[in-house]
Structure 1
Amino acid sequence: MDQDQPDWNLLRAFEATAQEGSLSAAARRLGLTQPTLSRQIAALEDRLALMLFERNGRYLHLTDAGRELLPHVQDMGDAANRLSLSASGQQSDLAGLVRITASEVASAHMLPPILQSLRLRAPQIIAEVVAGDDIRNLMTREADIALRHVRPEQPNLIARLIAERKGYFYATTGYLDKRGRPETLADLAEHDWIGMGDLKRVLEYMFSLNLPITEDNFRVRTESGLVAWEMCKTGLGIIPMDETVAAGTPGLEKILPDELVVTFPLWLVAHREVHTNPRIRLVYDLLGEALG
């Protein structure tokens, strides 16, 4: 290999390690042994005559050279994925059902345009969306692919971190005109909140953000994330939401956006069979491309 014609396997090893932050996690993602991955990284650094990572305990951090190289490698990976998806979508053996599970909000606001793209690329695939805020069990095949905000621990599942998403707290302009716009965190104790899911866990999370609210602030409650969002849109109170979802809804305002910013991971999860089932792999890669 020369510097003008890099080996894609080495570049893929570099990209996975940069995203995962450790050799062990990157090796699991690529289906390699850790020593093999380590040799690939060393080979790339040797060929480029650059040090791409610095080791800090069990974790690896990109050097300045590594940070400069990463976006170019990611562009190459995106192009390769698009080529693979386009080609595999034409295969005649891709007929069949693929079940995708995601939260109600993600199912309603994120998946429809992706499923439209899937219909164009592989019309013989039938996509079933299992919408729910509970965690479906991929091990027993209640679903083939899951979108989750936590990384699974089961060894037979593969998980890919595809995005770090950002959220804010929202209320309608009408609600804020009536109740006043909070100027400090303390002001939030005087407002109505919409309860979503397990109230105890919600309160623990609010406490971690130093929000001075109690169970009494949650004047309406529901187990459904989608219903809670509709409650917010009608002016019933304040709720946190992914900023991309909220951006498509007029008449909403962010609450203390400089202080209350929530970041959360988005994991794409599947059983290891994704590597051998072409239709599941196609949908898995398409979701990663669209949401990553």
Structure 2
Amino acid sequence: MDWRSIKFDWNKARAFLVTAEEGSLSAAARALDMNQPTLSRQVSSFEEELGVSLFERVGKGLELTPHGLQLVDHVRAMGEAAVQFSLTATGQIDQIEGVVAISASDAVSTYILPDMMVDIRRAEPGVILEIVATNTLSDLRRREADIAVRHAQPIEPDLIGRKVRCVNCWLYATPDYLASIGAPASLADLNNADFIGFGDNTQLLQGLNAIGIPASPDSFKLSCENGTVSWELVRKGLGIGIITEDIALNFPELIRVPVPQTPIPVSYWLVAHKELRTNRRIRFVFDRLVEAFAKYPQP
């Protein structure tokens, strides 16, 4: 149901709520500072619009009917929301609270996002941040995450994206590993090198071949779909890995393989549902991430 098609009179709903909380029309009229006949008319009109009976008289008081019991919690929540709205509108509440889920690859989740979380937590302690580390695309339309860090511009019409960074991928290895394969100086020297794979290595192999690296399926002696694990295998001197230069900044013990390399550009996009425009909590985290990527060290 489209909420914009619903006709709703908050004054009548408030009259119902206060009457339910006070237990009688006279007490509710005093609480609302109105005369009892006016209050009674609002409650009766509310019942007529809903087509149900909300109260039954018990002695000198009123008790909620089963229908009234079903509705009162919803109206109470509306009342609390109205109070929060009023306080925020008058500048009495500035804090942002609630959960914001951020989806990113395991490598980005491990090596980049934690530093960015520090400023967000300090700025808004009421925001609960949940990092969804996954190498598959989270479905933002199904709310698997609120914000996603992706490497491609979104094409879905109900998603919005902002490009926040562009870096290059290069080949990296430990000095000891490179020494063990004869200190390669040309692409041809990598013919006998071991490469650390990433799950299904078909696309990776095609990419390496496309930039002139003589790799074959036999070149991948170790593979893992988890990018963080793959990178740790490189750090242990078990082969050559390919990764973005910004993540490589975290590991000074690794060096770029000293052969002529064609850089592979990688873009970072922050992606969110179009709800971003109206959700203050998600917009706050989104904007802070934009700032964080802008300040993140450049390779």
TM tier relative to shorter chain = 0.5 to 0.7
Q: Could you report, residue by residue, the CA deviation over 1:163-190 in whole angstroms, capped at 9, with x for unpaired residues?
A: 1112211001121122222211111121
Q: Using the TM superposition, give the Cα deviation of residue 122 of structure 1 relative to its aligned residue in structure 2, in angstroms.
A: 0.5
Please name the residue that 1:39 is paired with.
none
Structure 1's 257 and 281: CA in aligned 2 closer, same or farther, altered over 3 A?
Answer: farther
Please name the residue that 2:119 is paired with.
117
Please name the residue that 1:263 is paired with.
265
Q: Using the TM superposition, give the Cα deviation of residue 258 of structure 1 relative to its aligned residue in structure 2, in angstroms.
A: 4.5
Q: Superposed, which structure 2 residues align to 1:167-246 within 5 Å?
A: 167-246=169-248
Please name the residue that 1:47 is paired with.
none
Please name the residue that 2:166 is paired with.
164
Looking at structure 2, the residues matched to 143 and 270 of structure 1 have their Cα atoms a distance apart, in angstroms, of: 9
Q: Using the TM superposition, give the Cα deviation of residue 285 of structure 1 relative to its aligned residue in structure 2, in angstroms.
A: 0.6
Q: Using the TM superposition, give the Cα deviation of residue 262 of structure 1 relative to its aligned residue in structure 2, in angstroms.
A: 2.2
Q: Could you report, residue by residue, the CA deviation over 1:110-167 in whole angstroms, capped at 9, with x for unpaired residues?
A: 1111111101111100000000111111110100000111112110000111111122
2:183 partner SS: coil
Looking at structure 2, the residues matched to 91 and 267 of structure 1 have their Cα atoms a distance apart, in angstroms, of: 32
5+ long unaligned stretches in structure 1:
1-89
Q: Could you report, residue by residue, the CA deviation over 1:36-58 in whole angstroms, capped at 9, with x for unpaired residues?
A: xxxxxxxxxxxxxxxxxxxxxxx
Looking at structure 1, the residues matched to 287 and 233 of structure 2 have their Cα atoms a distance apart, in angstroms, of: 34
Q: Could you report, residue by residue, the CA deviation over 1:260-283 in whole angstroms, capped at 9, with x for unpaired residues?
A: 422111111000001100010011
Q: Using the TM superposition, give the Cα deviation of residue 253 of structure 1 relative to its aligned residue in structure 2, in angstroms.
A: 1.2
Between 1:230-239 and 1:197-206, the stretch displaced more is 197-206
Paired residue type of 1:254 = R
TM-score of the aligned structures, taking structure 1 as reference length: 0.67
- Contact conserved, 2:188 with 2:214, CA < 8 A, in 1? yes
Q: Using the TM superposition, give the Cα deviation of residue 242 of structure 1 relative to its aligned residue in structure 2, in angstroms.
A: 1.5
Looking at structure 2, the residues matched to 275 and 181 of structure 1 have their Cα atoms a distance apart, in angstroms, of: 53
Looking at structure 2, the residues matched to 211 and 96 of structure 1 have their Cα atoms a distance apart, in angstroms, of: 48
Looking at structure 2, the residues matched to 228 and 211 of structure 1 have their Cα atoms a distance apart, in angstroms, of: 19
2:285 partner SS: helix
Tell me the matched-pair count.
203
Asked which structure has the greater CA Rg, the reply is 2
Please name the residue that 1:143 is paired with.
145
Paired residue type of 2:168 = K
Paired residue type of 2:112 = M
- Contact conserved, 1:166 with 1:243, CA < 8 A, in 2? yes
- Contact conserved, 2:140 with 2:147, CA < 8 A, in 1? yes
Looking at structure 1, the residues matched to 257 and 287 of structure 2 have their Cα atoms a distance apart, in angstroms, of: 35
Structure 1's 200 and 96: CA in aligned 2 closer, same or farther, altered over 3 A?
Answer: same
Looking at structure 2, the residues matched to 193 and 258 of structure 1 have their Cα atoms a distance apart, in angstroms, of: 17
TM-score of the aligned structures, taking structure 2 as reference length: 0.65
Q: Using the TM superposition, give the Cα deviation of residue 91 of structure 1 relative to its aligned residue in structure 2, in angstroms.
A: 5.4
- Contact conserved, 1:197 with 1:225, CA < 8 A, in 2? no
Q: Could you report, residue by residue, the CA deviation over 1:80-104 in whole angstroms, capped at 9, with x for unpaired residues?
A: xxxxxxxxxx954511000000011
Between 1:159-168 and 1:254-263, the stretch displaced more is 254-263
Q: Superposed, which structure 2 residues align to 1:1-292 within 5 Å?
A: 92=94, 94-256=96-258, 258-292=260-294
- Contact conserved, 1:175 with 1:235, CA < 8 A, in 2? yes
Looking at structure 2, the residues matched to 198 and 127 of structure 1 have their Cα atoms a distance apart, in angstroms, of: 31
RMSD across aligned positions (CA): 1.5
- Contact conserved, 2:111 with 2:250, CA < 8 A, in 1? no
Matched residues, percent identical?
38
- Contact conserved, 1:169 with 1:260, CA < 8 A, in 2? no
Looking at structure 2, the residues matched to 186 and 204 of structure 1 have their Cα atoms a distance apart, in angstroms, of: 16
Paired residue type of 1:284 = F
